[in-house]
Structure 1
Amino acid sequence: MFQIPDPKEQLVAIMKRIYAQGMTTTSGGNLSIKDENGNVYITPGGTDKGSMTAEDIVCIRADGTMEGKHKPSSEYPFHMKIYETRGDIRAILHAHPPAMVAYSIVRKIPDISAFPELKACIGSVGMAEYGLTGSEELGEKIAKVFAEGCNVAELENHGLVVGSTDIESAYQMFEAMDFSARIGIGASRLGGAKNENPSGKGLTDENMEKPKDPSTEIPQEDRAVCEKLCEMVRRAWHQKLLYAGLGVFSARAESGTIYYIPQGTDQSAAGILDIRKLEQTGDSLHAKIYRTHPGIGSVVTAFPPELMAFAVTGTKFSSRIIPEIYMVMQDVVSLPQAQYAGKPDEIAAVFDGRTSVAVLEGGGVIVTAPSLLKAYDRLEVAEYSARAILESSQLGNIVEITEKQVDEIRVQCHLN
């Protein structure tokens, strides 16, 4: 949760994230928070979202009076209507990320069923009928979706509205919806998603979810790797390799202790207090991989959107497109859901000398490496490669590097 108690500062912090991630424009989007006294704090209309400060936030008191130097967003009526409809909702987020606009103008909802992690984060999504921006009519149509139990409403020819108990979790759902839309668009370039997850299982490790106890003692000799772990998670979020608190980074310290940053963490601000020690005798996927392969120093599970287009369609991802990509990742394997989902021992076994990256159909990507930096690099290269392959689909057929050429690369680079 936020360490920022002031609702005005919370709204500014989240708006900065949305703007920095390219999910809103200077004039677009609006956020609000309802406090325990019934006061609603909301972003103003007609102001620069890229330079907003706490002084710009408007307060709509419980008695209807307004305080602030600006007028509230013109869309504040639907915020008030949602709060009136759902007493459990205390934060609302609305914006127009391009991927979600693409879905709204064809009036389709992104399919989140392929990833259990996405489904768990987002819940149910409804479609609100078109209404004039800022009108009472639009407020009624959006509130109707929330009255049906949805926490996310896609608006026809408009954008996205998310409501939750706090602004941070609303942001995570918003980010997850944007990524699910991007995954769906990428999947459409590969022929469309399979729309099935026969096992209903993904990569989430229940015993690696964020514990309630925030304390983890870190010996001085292990602090360097833990600080690097935090740095890499923050970088992965900024590079859009992680999102919505989903995914896990872990690394082995010189002492042999394995540390990780669990799911549910605010990845944009990951710090030492988020670090946890991995139970190496446990049944989690990360623990199984470390036990099976003592030479592995870092493991990452993630859901980067371009690569996930391959996961949801079952399309084989190839690392044999340019030499530099193969040199970093070596071979990438695709793991069928029916055979591998929920089977950490079998997944761990695939990481032999020639495989460091695996894509679980409908379940995400697993990356292993001798070091944390190498694992991050492989994740980043995998996502950038997926983007290149998706963009090449509009140009012609891919010509892969031959087996002989791969062997030459392996000899030249001393790959095992």
Structure 2
Amino acid sequence: MPLDLAPREDLIALGRLAGRRGFLWGTAGNVSVRRSEAHFLITERGTTLDQLDAQNLVLCPLRGGPGEPPEASSEIQLHRHIYQRRPDVRCVIHLSPLYTTMVACSDLELPTDLVPETVLYLGEIARVPYIQPGTDELGRAVAEALGEDRYVVIMTNHGAVTVGDSSLTAFRRMETLEFLCRMVVMAQAAGLTLRGIGPEAAEALRRSVYGSGNSFASG
């Protein structure tokens, strides 16, 4: 099946952007985009995301089994289960940025009403317990945690997954999540108590943005 250049270039640009933001280390992380109703494109196993080229991207069947194709990222089932459950999702990002991973290795709570961006981009953050990476069980658990209306999942002792209707939206969610985790970790270290705007103000903000037709937080 021939590939368009756009999905390949999208993933390559996404990897470069993650590198520039300092979200990468070693070969941790994997990203994908929905290619069609039957396929998605994912990064190759063992690649460094900020050094991707077209040869590091693998076309995968949406209905394939575990380990198919073998050259794809070990987290292929995580991406596959999300695309199967959520037809609205066009991009899946799994990264382990420093502060997000620190929170994933702790019991710190993440209030999402601290600043407008965390209200609009993150919504309710789901968490899943530690499950062996690269397993079908992990993929199913993350997809279930996302449900029909969540966009962010923290995987205990592992990192995070964000999704969106475009690669830019999914990445903005990852970037906002890392910013939030950094705020919470640094505030705790400094002995500060963070104050949110509260659920009523957060809901009013969401209504004002969604009601205006603004795509700022589109899924």
SS in structure 2 opposite 1:50? helix
CA contact (8 A) 2:117 2:176 kept: no
TM-fit CA distance, 1:71: 0.7
Please give the alpha-carbon distance, in whole angstroms, between the structure 2 residues aligned to 1:61 and 1:148: 22
TM-fit CA distance, 1:76: 0.6
CA contact (8 A) 2:30 2:42 kept: yes
Please give the alpha-carbon distance, in whole angstroms, between the structure 2 residues aligned to 1:192 and 1:85: 40
Q: Unaligned stretches of 5+ in structure 1?
A: 213-262, 265-416
Equivalent residue number for residue 132 of structure 1:
132
Please give the alpha-carbon distance, in whole angstroms, between the structure 2 residues aligned to 1:84 and 1:64: 11
Instruction: Give the TM-score normalised by structure 2.
Output: 0.83
CA contact (8 A) 1:85 1:146 kept: no
Please give the alpha-carbon distance, in whole angstroms, between the structure 1 residues aligned to 2:140 and 2:73: 17
- The structure-2 alpha-carbon separation of the partners of 1:46 and 1:147, relative to structure 1 and needing over 3 Å to count, comes to same
Alignment root-mean-square deviation, CA: 3.1
SS in structure 2 opposite 1:200? helix
Equivalent residue number for residue 158 of structure 2:
158
TM-fit CA distance, 1:39: 1.2
TM-fit CA distance, 1:128: 1.1
Q: Percent identity over the alignment?
A: 24
- The structure-2 alpha-carbon separation of the partners of 1:169 and 1:5, relative to structure 1 and needing over 3 Å to count, comes to farther
Equivalent position amino acid for 1:146 in 2: L
TM-fit CA distance, 1:32: 0.5
Equivalent residue number for residue 35 of structure 2:
35
| 1:90 matched to 2:83 | no
| 1:73 matched to 2:73 | yes
TM-fit CA distance, 1:47: 2.1
CA contact (8 A) 1:59 1:67 kept: no
Please give the alpha-carbon distance, in whole angstroms, between the structure 1 residues aligned to 2:137 and 2:213: 43
In the TM superposition, 1:159-178 aligns within 5 A as 159-178=159-178
Please give the alpha-carbon distance, in whole angstroms, between the structure 1 residues aligned to 2:146 and 2:186: 29
CA contact (8 A) 2:187 2:194 kept: no
Q: Unaligned stretches of 5+ in structure 2?
A: none
Equivalent residue number for residue 11 of structure 1:
11
TM-fit CA distance, 1:115: 1.5
SS in structure 1 opposite 2:126? strand
Equivalent residue number for residue 201 of structure 2:
200
Q: Which has the higher contact order (CA 8 A, sep 6+)?
A: 2
Please list the CA deviations of residues 295-325 of structure 1 after superposition, one character each: whole Å capped at 9, or x if unmatched: xxxxxxxxxxxxxxxxxxxxxxxxxxxxxxx
Structure 1 outlier segments of 4+, above 6 Å: 65-68, 201-204
CA contact (8 A) 1:109 1:127 kept: no
Please list the CA deviations of residues 335-382 of structure 1 after superposition, one character each: whole Å capped at 9, or x if unmatched: xxxxxxxxxxxxxxxxxxxxxxxxxxxxxxxxxxxxxxxxxxxxxxxx
Please give the alpha-carbon distance, in whole angstroms, between the structure 1 residues aligned to 2:63 and 2:184: 44
Equivalent position amino acid for 2:54 in 1: A
- The structure-2 alpha-carbon separation of the partners of 1:109 and 1:29, relative to structure 1 and needing over 3 Å to count, comes to farther
| 1:146 matched to 2:162 | no
Instruction: Give the TM-score normalised by structure 1.
Output: 0.45
Equivalent residue number for residue 190 of structure 2:
190
- The structure-2 alpha-carbon separation of the partners of 1:97 and 1:36, relative to structure 1 and needing over 3 Å to count, comes to same
Equivalent residue number for residue 114 of structure 1:
114
> Rg larger in 1 or in 2?
1
Please give the alpha-carbon distance, in whole angstroms, between the structure 1 residues aligned to 2:80 and 2:205: 38
Please give the alpha-carbon distance, in whole angstroms, between the structure 2 residues aligned to 1:123 and 1:171: 15
Equivalent position amino acid for 2:164 in 1: S
TM-fit CA distance, 1:203: 10
In the TM superposition, 1:246-325 aligns within 5 A as none
- The structure-2 alpha-carbon separation of the partners of 1:91 and 1:109, relative to structure 1 and needing over 3 Å to count, comes to farther
Q: How many residues align?
A: 207
